[in-house]
Amino acid sequence: MMLPLLDKTRPLARQIYTGIRERILSGSLPPGMRMTSTRDMARQWGVSRTIVINAFEQLSAEGFVEARRGSGSYVAAGASWGGAAQRSRKGRSDAVDLAPPPTPPRGCGAFRTDRVDFRSGLPDLTRFPVATWQKLSRQVWSVLTPMDLSYGQPEGNRELREQICRLVGTKRGVRCHPDQVLVTAGTTQAVGIVTRLLIAPDRSSCILEDPITNDIVRIVENAGGTIEPVPVDDQGIRTDALPRGARPAMIYITPSHQFPTGATLPIQRRVSILQYARSHATYVVEDDYDSEFRFDAPPISSLQGLEPSCVIYIGTFSKTLFPSLRIGFVILPPALVARGRELKWFSDLHNSSPDQLVLARFIADGHFARYVHLMGKVYARRRAALVGALDRAFGSGVRVLGSPAGIHLCARFAGVRFTRSVVEAIDRAGVVVYPAEAHAIRKGRFTDTLLFGYGMLDIPRIEEGIVLLGRAFARLNAR
Ligand SMILES: Cc1ncc(COP(=O)(O)O)c(C=O)c1O
């Protein structure tokens, strides 16, 4: 019998078991064949006999080999299977088709360090106060009881909901009670829950800002929603373009800092949206994803604070702290609370309780406020550096859109079309850029616009990136 080669760095008994099992499955060790003795195998492989016996015990327990008293082990009958294992070896695989979706989800895809990568949506992950988080984790774990390790409530841990309620109440003017807070796995899950709460077979139309994060479009469509795009201009969603006569299931907006254009919705349009929601008996979903960072004035108060009965407010810790924490929240009008909790329960029961407790303490002890304050100053400087660098490199050929806020900005470049080949040429010059057109539902209005994330880039890197971008433009123009 030909023995498989062993890799001494991996568990030996497992390799022997797998090697023999595969040969039996494929039929190359036929039923009834007498197996080499464990003693001989051990000698041939140069391993201890115990290792071979362990592998044989497993094979025997699973029915691949049978021991016959006094005459050794034999390949058992009926153990070969020319199924998946065989076919995949011939190149035909039953594996799930892992072809990437047309546009990768926002959360996926690596941040490139071999280029100046202006990827948006990431805060500075190098500045997070890991030591503080570790200290708080130790404190939390030192007082956890065994029952704290059991299942928790779908709406989330009470301490965290109280902290969130206080935070959004003081910072964002949100009016709520902790019982209205549903802790979620970020905005992504919150939007999934909200769409399932609001979309019904006879009420599926969802008004979305255009452009908008691709992921939101996908989540809405996945929940059976029909997309009703409403264009965005320099002030945010154009309320004069809201569909008349429709019965929308919801209106999803990012009024503090429109994604991606960065516009802040003025009060007149906020009032129009609320009037529209009232007269159409629908809900406004307010995604307040990065409102904590506003550089020219205190953060704009939330829309929810104006009319809590018809606004569903969504917040996340992905931009203030870090996205892999997977904690966000939704503040539901009382009428939707019970069903919202049920949907969260169906989805994943609840968020990790220890993580929620650490976050609650992080907020309660003032670390959250201090960190957001510090990072607000950092991001303000980076944004100013980016605007300055764009101005130096492109002068009147560039127009920065939106308010001084958040961790990204959009800029329009006169006379440029960011086609795939242009973006690839820029990439070869050492910069990764992101066309805003990728977020457009109705294509064509943002072909000259780029989205620049600066959360993960320090000022020298931002400036270097824009110099390289200028050079790439010059080379493209010279062609
Ligand atoms: C518009 C918008 N909302 C919310 C989020 C945050 O999503 P999550 O909280 O699921 O990480 C993002 C992330 O990029 C976003 O672009």
Lowest mean per-residue pLDDT among 31-40, 64-73, 93-102? 93-102
Which two structure tokens, joined as six digits, stand for 239?
A: 């309320």
Q: Report the separation in Å between the CA atom of 182 and the middle of ligand 1, taken as the mean of its atom positions.
A: 17
Lowest mean per-residue pLDDT among 22-26, 366-370, 434-438? 22-26
Q: Report the separation in Å between the CA atom of 261 and the middle of ligand 1, taken as the mean of its atom positions.
A: 14
- Residue closest via CA to ligand 1's atom 6 equals 187
* CB 377 within 8 Å of CB 420: no
Would the CB of 154 count as within 6 Å of ligand 1?
no
**pLDDT tens-digit series, residues 200-237:** 999 999 999 999 999 999 999 999 999 999 999 999 99
Would the CB of 317 count as within 6 Å of ligand 1?
no
**pLDDT tens-digit series, residues 374-416:** 999 999 999 999 999 999 999 999 999 999 999 999 999 999 9
Would the CB of 187 count as within 6 Å of ligand 1?
yes
pLDDT the model gives residue 77: 87
Give the mutation target among 210, 316, 322 for probing the ligand 1 site: most ligand atoms within 8 A of CB: 316
pLDDT the model gives residue 99: 46
Q: Report the separation in Å between the CA atom of 188 and the middle of ligand 1, taken as the mean of its atom positions.
A: 7
On the question of pLDDT at 1 being above 70, the answer is no
| Mean predicted lDDT score pLDDT of the chain | 91
Would the CB of 316 count as within 6 Å of ligand 1?
yes
**pLDDT tens-digit series, residues 161-202:** 999 999 999 999 999 999 999 999 999 999 999 999 999 999
Residue matched to tokens 């072909």: 447
**pLDDT tens-digit series, residues 414-426:** 999 999 999 999 9
pLDDT the model gives residue 166: 98
